Structures are given as structure tokens and as C-alpha cells.
Structure 1
């Protein structure tokens, strides 16, 4: 099924890297952007490269260029921003490789060819860009990890936490993880919790789907699954207040339920991210 929508993706790679999205998979991001069958007209990412360091550090240069080539192999256009160094009056050196302007200009110039724009950033400086894109008729979606501007989240048409998208962010200690399978490590949010009973239910996105808006796992066509969770499986730092906060993202393992056919139980439940931390 092809929705006919023309889609553009713009990734603020340095913002993502320093705010919880290190090692984000561009192949999964591409698959996610095309989940409704739209045509991916633009796939743009903006990366920093430290040429001064590269002259002295062969391994850095080798790894950086290999990574860039891998991303290009997935069909992305990379705009490389050279890292610049600045020295203040006290002799302190800071580095910057800000691609905000490049990304904003590209998004605005290319908007006339697009129906939907997916921004991957947490930077509130893109607020005006979002408003301008929407005024031009584009639907604007946002993916972020940590430190995502609250105002930016509220201005876009839809915000998705990158932590909750299957396999978008690898789980380093589970290199062969099969998200959604029994024994796999996944991330989700709590939808119901009964403090007096000591249990509740977590919701996990099982697979990338155009039906992300069908959030009730009981509804036909929903890509989500419901997972039973007992209080005994919560880590010590997972308080009741955190569990009840829908912005708390939990990481846990899926076990097969002994009480319900095709049901899941959460084990070893710990914090992946909380707005309060």
C-alpha cells in the first residue's frame, strides 16, 4: 500500500548523539519513515567531522569515514560540518559544529516537494521551522531521545520517543536481541498500575507499523502488545511515581505468561529514561 505521501527526513545527528541517541540505526529510521508506504524523497543527515583531530588520529578518521559511508549506503545524503575551535579570554577551548542553519534552510527549501517532514532532534531552535513547515501544509513529526524541548514536542503534529521504536537504538549488552520475541529486551511505558494490588501493565511497540495511533493493544490492527508486570520485578530506583508517569520509559525482558496463552510477563524492569532524572 502506497499512501502517496512525499516524505522528507532531517536528522540533527550531533544533537541526537549527545542526547541519548548514540548508535542510532539509520536503516531502521528509514524503515520507520516509510512505514505508511510514502515516497521518501529526501533523507538528509547533518554530521560533524573534526578535521584537525583526523590529521593526528588515524583511527578516528578511519572510523568516521567508514560510518559515513555506511549511512550513505542506506540512501542518506550527509552534510558534513567541520568542527571549529574557539578560545576564550581565559584560554579555554570549546568546539562547535552547529548544523542548525543548514538543516533549517534545507527543510524550508525542500518543503514545497513534501507532504510530511520527520525531524530527528530535540533542539528547541527548530520551533519556528516547525511552524513554518506546517503553514506550508506539511505534516511535521518529531523523534527525540533525551533533553527534547517541551515546546517543540507540543508544536509538532506527533512526537515519538526514539527509545520506543523497535531496534532504532541498539541494546549494547544484547547484540542479538530480537525485539518482541520471548526472552528479548524491549522498552515500553506503563499504561495501568494498581498500587494496592502490586501489579500493572506495560505497553510495547511490537513492530513498525502505519497504525501507531491504535495504541490500545486490544484493538484489531494495533502494533502494540500489553505486558503484565509484578511489583517484585521493578528495580529499586523504579518508584511508584515514576511508573505512573507516562514519560518514564522502562527497559525489561519479555517472558512467556503461564496464565495466559500468547501473553507476556515483564522481568528485570529498570529505568531506561525518565524526565525526572
Structure 2
């Protein structure tokens, strides 16, 4: 396992939808993305920070997207899809995975901010490529298979003061 050191190049990929639902269901609070960025970078060289967000036409979302950019995140925005039966869907699983695989040759570590177990296969792939995989999520809403697939797991519930507003 590759240890953390100051010369490491890190990419931070934040699944904003997953983080939002976890922080709201557990704490009724929003994520402090500036604090999250500090927690994930840990003094290393930040190559890229990307927040994957969903546009659902709520009034405050544009200011949220702008705040993310001010903090240092690149935002990737996807519109929510509404189906004929009224159900809605939007997720970034494929986009996050493709970006992680693309960035793998440019970084030493990927900080994946999500609890979604669908990313466990991505973790295995990145580790096979020699990239350190760090998962940041709220333990009670993070899939066991994701925790097991990562080199390191940080329970954001233990860092409430740093990562919640």
C-alpha cells in the first residue's frame, strides 16, 4: 500500500448528490466543501478537484455551483431527467469512473468522496494501476464493499466539525 507523502499528486472527485443525501439524512446539514477539500488533499499537490452536481432547477443551486468553483472545485453539471411515470434520475457514476481512469496516469492518489458501493470496481481497477484510492464518506451510509476496496477510508462522521456547515 502506498503511504501519504507531501510530494503526492492527488485528484479529488466529489459525488455531491451522494454527499448531500448522506449529510442531510444523518445530520440535516450541508457539506462544507472547503473543509472537505482540506481533509482530502492533506497538504499534497492538488492536480484536480471535481464536484459532480445535478441541476434540479432549485433557486439556490446556481449560487452553490458558484461557491464550489470559488473553493477550487471544477463543477460538472448534469440535468435531472424526469420520466413519463414522474420518476426522476440523475447520477454521475459513469462520468466519475471515466474521469478517475483518465486521471490515474497523472496522479498518485484519488480521493473519492462518496459512499456509493458501485465504485468498488473502480477502486480495484485504480489500485491495480498503482494509484492509491482514498474513500471519504459517512460510515453509516457507505457501502462495505467500497470501504474494503479502498486503500484508506475516512469516516466523515468523525470529522463533523471540519466537513459540515
Question: Same fold, TM exceeding 0.5?
Answer: yes
The Cα shift of 1:104 comes to 0.6
**Structure 1 SS opposite 2:38:** helix
- Which residue is equivalent to 2:94? 101
- Which residue is equivalent to 1:234? none
- Which residue is equivalent to 1:154? 148
The total of aligned residue pairs comes to 155
**Structure 2 SS opposite 1:19:** helix
- Find the partner of 1:43 among 49, 57, 70: 49
Give unpaired runs (5+ residues) of structure 1.
Answer: 55-59, 171-277
- Which residue is equivalent to 1:5? 8
CA distance in 1, matches of 2:111, 2:125: 14
TM-score (normalizing by structure 2):
0.88
CA RMSD in angstroms, aligned pairs only: 1.4
CA distance in 1, matches of 2:35, 2:22: 19
The Cα shift of 1:124 comes to 0.8
Q: Which structure carries more helix by proportion?
A: 2
CA distance in 2, matches of 1:73, 1:108: 26
- Which residue is equivalent to 1:266? none
- Find the partner of 1:19 among 12, 19, 22: 22
Q: Which structure carries more strand by proportion?
A: 1
**Equivalent pair of 2:51/2:68 in contact (CA under 8 Å):** no
Summarize the alignment of residues 117-156 of structure 1 with structure 2, pairs less than 5 Å apart: 117-145=110-138, 146-156=140-150
Summarize the alignment of residues 182-201 of structure 1 with structure 2, pairs less than 5 Å apart: none
Between 1 and 2, higher relative CO (CA 8 Å, sep ≥ 6) is seen in 2
**Equivalent pair of 2:12/2:41 in contact (CA under 8 Å):** no
The Cα shift of 1:38 comes to 1.1
Following TM superposition, the consecutive aligned residue runs of length 4 or more in structure 1 with deviations greater than 6 angstroms are none
The Cα shift of 1:97 comes to 1.2
CA distance in 2, matches of 1:33, 1:125: 20
Which one has a bigger Cα radius of gyration?
1
**Equivalent pair of 2:136/2:154 in contact (CA under 8 Å):** yes
- Find the partner of 1:32 among 34, 39, 54: 39
**Structure 2 SS opposite 1:107:** helix
CA distance in 1, matches of 2:145, 2:40: 23
- Which residue is equivalent to 1:173? none
The Cα shift of 1:133 comes to 0.6
TM-score (normalizing by structure 1):
0.54
**Equivalent pair of 2:8/2:45 in contact (CA under 8 Å):** yes
